[in-house]
Amino acid sequence: MSDVNFIEINEGDLETIRKWRNSSEVGKYMYTDNVISSDQQKNWFEKISLEENSRYWMIEYQGKKLGLVYIIDIDTYNSKCYWGFYLGDTSIRGEGIGKKVEFKLLNYVFDDLELNKLCGEVLNFNKRVLEMHSKFGFKEEGLLRQHVKKNSEFIDVTTIGLLKDEWKDIKDDIYHKIYRPIL
């Protein structure tokens, strides 16, 4: 089984991450679409390095770094956090890497961290990602109207959530869909 790995980001990854974030393919799905400078990227890394309630990893597949995955606002009292990811290397889109990232992250949040809820926010026009999250059991929980301004236009954001018990109920089925034996 060829799987994805999550590798803690380090200073050597910053330029790659900045290149991905500044690409139009990634930027169009992010809250902000400004071009990130090298100094801004270093400042971001310094800030997140000090955060105790977040984790950021490079997504690695077959020895190649392909994107970024993170959990933020880890709240152990309320047993929840937020998450997101993107694939910066667009050459591998359509190969099921995103599903493997989602599966691995859900297991980490619910099995390793033992949290009760995983939350996310998706730009409303990103129907493909909303559909993928739905297949993993996420429920739409709300609509944040005109929540983000991109290209001088206000964009709605859909909030999603998945509970630990909901994930337990479908985890094995999802596993078999992603890692079905190749005949």
Structural class in CATH, domain 4-178: alpha beta
* 3-state DSSP helix/strand/coil % of the chain, to nearest 5: 40, 35, 25
Task: Kindly provide the b/e burial profile for residues 58-93, where b requires at least 16 CB atoms within 10 angstroms of the residue's own CB.
Answer: bbebeeebbbbbbbeebeeeeebbbbbbbbbbeebe
pLDDT in tens, 103-120: 999 999 999 999 999 999
Query: 102 phi and psi, to 5 degrees?
Result: -60, -45
pLDDT in tens, 22-58: 999 899 999 988 899 999 999 999 999 999 999 999 9
pLDDT in tens, 88-108: 987 777 788 999 999 999 999
pLDDT, position 182? 53
What ranges do the domains of the chain cover? 4-178
- How sure is the predictor about 176, in pLDDT bands with cuts at 50, 70 and 90? very high
Query: 27 phi and psi, to 5 degrees?
Result: -55, -30
- How sure is the predictor about 2, in pLDDT bands with cuts at 50, 70 and 90? low
